[in-house]
A and B are shown apart, each in its own frame.
Chain A
Amino acid sequence: MTEEAGLRPPRGTAPRVSIEAKDDAVVAAGAPLARLRDAPDVCFVAPMAARVARVSLLQGHRLSEIVVFRETGGDAIVHDTSGADTEAGLRRLMQRAGFWPWLRRRPFGGMPDAKERPTAIVVMAADTRPFAPDPRLALDGLEEAFGRGLRALALLTDEAPFLCQQPGPALIDSADGQKAHVVSIGARHPQGAAGLRIHALCPAGLDTPVWDIHAEDVAALGTLLETGQLPLTRLVSIAGSALRESRLVRTQAGADLRGLTYRSVLPGAHRLLSGSPLDGHAEHWLLPRDRQVTALPRDPSRPTRHWLTAALTRSASARPVIPSAALDQAFGGALPAAAFTRVLSAGDDETAMKMGILSLLEEDCALADYVLGDDGHLRQLLRGMLERIRTEFAA
């Protein structure tokens, strides 16, 4: 637990909300701080018993962040779980307990709509990103709750959920085995990238949304169903080359990254990322779905280049991507990498949709961007194309 925490909507979104808690009010853990305007059941909840410090909204009541200070000895909200054996009751419980922002939908990313019914749900019990905490460790001792959460998720969709895990002992007992497709995946990144798994298992489309969720959150759902209290802490790995030592901690969503790292950081300027070194973003708070904090030394400031060198090396357009074995492996063989890269650079939306771009998000291209070095702009291209597809096909 850190002394401060910041509540933020999922990255890239700014939903319209109505604020529930006034400044300086003391709230219990799990108490709603904000609700969506369009769907008042969907709540953003306090990650700990806390005093509300600051609420920042963008224009039009769009949520930017809510900062809270920890209060010792506060109590926790207990939800009524009686209706949770029906789909509508389960949805209402998940939304009121603040579980909804932990889901992510594809295409386009972000939190699903309150009424959306997914074609499939993919539970990621494997994370292959560098420094990622092992989900098996997070699930240790929670097998029963995990099985209960998985059975509950099966209510939300027609098809049984997919469970992606690394080889090893079964995470669910054989009775649940029929209720979930267990998929075994390798240990090397990007095999644990959710987008590439979805692309291979059940591609997302405009009318066929697919949700993905981390296995630890499924166990939290199981605990919520049993006790009425949503566990708000999660296993987070703190690593990176600007730290003296890396460690695993249990902390709340929205934890203050400086509070988590200030004891172990090396002297000198550094950057704190919420997320892995590949796809993390410089943030103040741990984002809702992230389970990694990465501290990297800040780049030494480059000397300004001579105008002649700049004129000779700076090109009018980005340099092309050359197909190589490194690029193929950065997509794990899930899709024709070079052809996909060319389609992205050319801005050919329809071919990209045929290739399955709707299953992908920025984080799935992060390894390719890293591998390509200075020539890698796939994430910007992908986001631009997704936004274009969204506006074109919404009309």
Chain B
Amino acid sequence: MNRGIWTRETVVVLLLLAYLPLALFWLWFGNIQDMHRLALALLVLAIWQLVFLLARAQPVSLSAGITALAIAMLAPEGLGGVRLILGISFGAVMGELVFGGWGRNVVNPATVALSFLGFGFPGFAWPEILLPVAWAAIPAAAIGLMTGVMPAGVLLSAALGATGAVAIGVLPGFALPAAGVVLVLLVADPVTSATTRLGRWLNGLLFLALVILFANAWHGAAPVQFAVAAALLTSLAAPVLDEVALALWYARRRRRHGRH
């Protein structure tokens, strides 16, 4: 029978396509060490996927590419191989694979790995997001929106909110590149962001609010550091935002129909 195309792996391939401009700019402006980190992350993730394939019959997924890119771009620099492998393993196993693989996870594995590395090994410098790399997040988001694999509400609400926040001066400009890249790479993940329409708008606004809070009140934190922390808290809150949106929807339906 002729069938539709929107299987899990199609979504992954389209997401990888969307992240391609970001990855290319990052590699172009980066150095050989960045390549090494990306290769290491891919290798570690592939090994864990293979382990879970053999142990739990969980099918492998190309989503490891997305996780590896996010970790390689945003992890603190100078950690060394052992710590990096430890952090990536923790993120991939506890953040994704124990739940049943990509699509059943509740938090983004890259967010978990980055938070683990950041909080577990303090004192290492967070990377700086170069401006051209930050600009490349815009085509990435555009491809994601056009193909429908990234939640439109999350991206649009965060972008519109950020424009307003910069205009009234509560969001300092130095936070923007890191926040934009983290938004596209970690927050606008179709699996772990909110899934209802209202929930998605709240999700984007919550991320923005946390970034504004941390940028103004968390002294001594690097932009990538607080953006990742905001992404972690946002993805933990996403189910609550969905519940809020659903509760409002139930209430509206009950008022209109007198029953569910």
Are A374 and B260 interface neighbours, CB within 8 A?
no
Chain B residue nearest to A339 (CB atoms) is B195
Shortest beta-carbon distance, A36 to chain B, in Å?
Answer: 30
- CA A172 to CA B196, docked complex, whole Å: 38
B6–A326 touching, CB < 8 Å:
yes
- A277, A339, A355: residue with the most chain B Cβ atoms closer than 10 Å: A339
The docked-state distance in angstroms from the alpha carbon of A374 to that of B10 is 11
- Of the candidates A296, A314, A324, which one forms a contact with B149 in the assembled complex, judged by CB atoms under 8 Å apart? A324
Residues of A within 8 A of B177 (CB): none
Given the interface pairs A336-B196, A374-B7, the reply to whether A324 lies near B57 with Cβ below 8 Å is no
In the complex the two chains form, is B6's CB within 8 Å of A354's CB? no
Contact with A along B103-116 (1 / 0, CB 8 A): 11000000000000
Known contacts A356-B260, A370-B3; decide if A316 and B148 are in contact (CB<8 Å). no
Contacts of B147 in A (CB 8 A): 325
**Contact yes or no, A316 B152, CB < 8 A:** no
CB of A323 within 8 A of CB of B191, answer yes
Which of A201-209, A224-232, A243-251 is the interface stretch?
A: A201-209
For B148, give its contact among A296, A324, A337 (CB under 8 Å): A324
A145 to chain B, nearest CB (A): 32
Q: What 0/1 pattern do residues 137 to 170 of B give for CB contact below 8 A with A? A: 0000000000111011000000000000000000
Segment at the interface with A among B36-44, B70-78, B218-226, B246-254 = B246-254
A373 is contacted by which of B5, B60, B100, B191 (Cβ under 8 Å)? B5
Q: Is B259 an interface residue when CB atoms closer than 8 A count as contact?
A: yes
Contact with A along B55-78 (1 / 0, CB 8 A): 011111000000000000000000
Please tell me the number of chain B residues within 8 Å of chain A, measured between CB atoms. Answer: 40
Contact bitstring A317-343, B, C-beta under 8 A = 1, else 0 = 101111111110000000011110010
Which residues of B sit under 8 angstroms from A322, Cβ to Cβ?
6, 8, 11, 103, 149, 190-191
A121 CB, nearest partner CB in chain B, Å: 16
Most buried by B among A322, A323, A372: A322
- Chain B residues lying within 8 Å of A342, measured Cβ to Cβ, are 195
Bound form: Cα–Cα A277–B197 in Å: 30
Give the interface SS of chain B, mostly helix, strand, loop or mixed. Answer: loop
Give the contacting residue for A323; candidates B58, B151, B250, B253; CB below 8 A.
Answer: B151
B190–A336 contact, CB under 8 A? no
Contact A324 B100 (CB under 8 A): no
For residue B4, CB closer than 8 A to chain A, the reply is yes
Q: Is A312 an interface residue when CB atoms closer than 8 A count as contact?
A: yes
User: Does the CB pair A316–B6 fall under 8 Å?
Assistant: no
- Note all chain B residues with C-beta closer than 8 A to A317: 100
How far, in Å, is A291 (CB) from chain B's closest CB?
A: 21
Contact with B along A363-374 (1 / 0, CB 8 A): 000000011111
Out of A299, A315, A321, A353, name the residue touching B57 (CB < 8 Å).
A315
Min CB gap A81→B, angstroms:
35
Interface pair A319/B246, CB less than 8 Å apart: no
Chain A interface extent, by class: 35 or more
Would A339 and B260 be within 8 Å (CB), given that A316-B56, A322-B190, A323-B190 are in contact?
A: no
A311 to chain B, nearest CB (A): 8
Residues of A within 8 Å of B148, CB to CB, are 324-326
- Does B125 reach chain A (CB closer than 8 Å)? no
Query: Once bound together, how far apart are the Cα atoms of A372 and B8, in whole Å?
Result: 8
Check: A59 CB closer than 8 A to any chain B CB.
no
Q: Which residues of A are found within 8 Å of B101, using beta-carbon distances?
A: 320
Q: Which of A154-201 contact B (CB under 8 A)?
A: none
Output the least CB separation between A314 and chain B (Å): 7
Question: What residue in chain B is nearest A337 (Cβ atoms)?
Answer: B195
Judge whether B255 is part of the interface by a CB distance below 8 angstroms.
no
Least CB distance, B202 to chain A, in whole angstroms: 14
Contact A373 B3 (CB under 8 A): yes
Q: Does A375 contact B (CB under 8 A)?
A: yes
**Contact A375 B8, CB 8 Å, known A208-B259, A320-B103, A336-B196:** yes
**Beta-carbon contact of B104 and A320 below 8 Å:** yes
Q: B152: which A residues are within 8 A, CB to CB?
A: 325
Q: How far is the CA of A375 from the CA of B3 in the complex (A)?
A: 10
| Least Cβ–Cβ distance between B94 and chain A, in angstroms | 18
Q: What is the CB-to-nearest-CB distance from B59 to chain A, in angstroms, rounded to a whole number? A: 4
A-B contact pairs, 18 of them (CB 8 A): A296-B2, A320-B102, A321-B8, A321-B103, A322-B8, A322-B149, A323-B151, A325-B148, A325-B149, A326-B4, A326-B6, A327-B6, A336-B195, A336-B197, A356-B253, A370-B4, A373-B10, A375-B6
Extra contacts besides A320-B102, A376-B3 (13): CB < 8 Å: A205-B259, A314-B57, A316-B56, A319-B103, A320-B101, A320-B104, A322-B103, A322-B149, A325-B152, A326-B6, A336-B195, A336-B196, A342-B195
Per CB-CB distance, the 8 closest pairs between chain A and chain B, nearest first, are A325-B148, A320-B103, A338-B195, A316-B57, A371-B4, A315-B59, A322-B11, A373-B7
